[in-house]
A and B are shown apart, each in its own frame.
Chain A
């Protein structure tokens, strides 16, 4: 029951999170770093950031493990999971994440940070790094690598289609289609941010960036990718322009859907290989 309520609250936050925050509604989730209490000084941490309308359960594999516990087992990272209101603007959440990481690093003298962002979570990671660097926060220098799993770096065509649809509905001089347009426009700023054709902040050169994208059907891979994020967006353009990122830092997995990217053994195998070659 508690789990179902948590899922419902996360979905509500994804759809209406900016409204909940603006109106001071108690259903709005506050951002928190789960697992950050009593962090030993000098720890290596891995921070997992889920995507739109998700909960921490999105990371859980069939055997109960997740990328955090596996990285703890294999590399000694302390896993922290970010809980947040995914309906807020991505940049606002990025700023908040940067602030929390700054506080944590100041308090616990964290030795090293790895960031793992799934879907929208990857955009938060990019934003947080940008704001951390812009504000000269020391935690950014402790970030050695960042992993982006199914992250729509070049936006989502579904949100762009939604924008076009609401515009068309609003242009029709009919009260019912305008009502439908009004209902469509209720969606949160977080969702609307996913329609932006490129992320406003570049990947920081001081961090090793690793991108994983999936596709469900080879014939539709380019247009639909993992069913939510097209390949070009999931690879930040690297599938069309291989020099955009080192090819070794980009993995494209066949027959892996969007949600599976958050809890797939093959994805972890790549994360592990990247950590081994970088350590």
Chain B
């Protein structure tokens, strides 16, 4: 394996992390939405459920954005700009 190949493998790993993280985030938010939609339809627990949803979704987004951010920094060190997952 040459340096070019190693760099290519690293770029591919970064792509996998960025796009994989975006896909997993979508699944996590969509799965949680189902549960929260049910909980928020029950009047007694609706208000705390809405609060928990905001916290849950916020943590999920921050976590995945951080993962992608670290991957992008690593990509930057290789001189590689990762396309936004939405650009695919």
Contact = CB atoms under 8 A, between A and B. Distances in A.
Interface of A: 5, 9, 12, 16, 19-20, 23-28, 175-176, 178-179, 182-183
Contacts of B27: 175-176, 178-179
Given A23-B15, A182-B23, A28 B8 contact: yes
A211 B30 CA distance: 51
15 contacts: A12-B12, A19-B15, A20-B12, A23-B11, A24-B80, A25-B8, A25-B12, A26-B5, A26-B7, A26-B8, A26-B11, A176-B27, A176-B31, A179-B23, A182-B23
Interface of B: 1-2, 4-5, 7-9, 11-12, 15, 23, 26-27, 30-31, 80, 83
A179 B4 CA distance: 31
A39 B81 CA distance: 41
Given A25-B12, A26-B8, A26-B11, 17 more contacts: A5-B1, A12-B12, A19-B15, A20-B8, A25-B8, A25-B11, A26-B4, A27-B5, A27-B9, A175-B27, A175-B30, A175-B31, A176-B27, A179-B23, A179-B26, A179-B27, A183-B23
A70 B5 CA distance: 34
Tell which of B8, B11, B27, B80 has the most Cβ of chain A within 10 Å: B8
B8 A175 contact: no
B14 to A, nearest CB: 10
Contacts, number: 40
Given A19-B15, A175-B31, A27 B8 contact: yes
A25 B14 CA distance: 11
A182 B12 CA distance: 17
A26 B2 CA distance: 9
Contacts of B26: 175, 178-179
Contacts of B8: 20, 25-28
A23 B75 CA distance: 12
B63 to A, nearest CB: 17
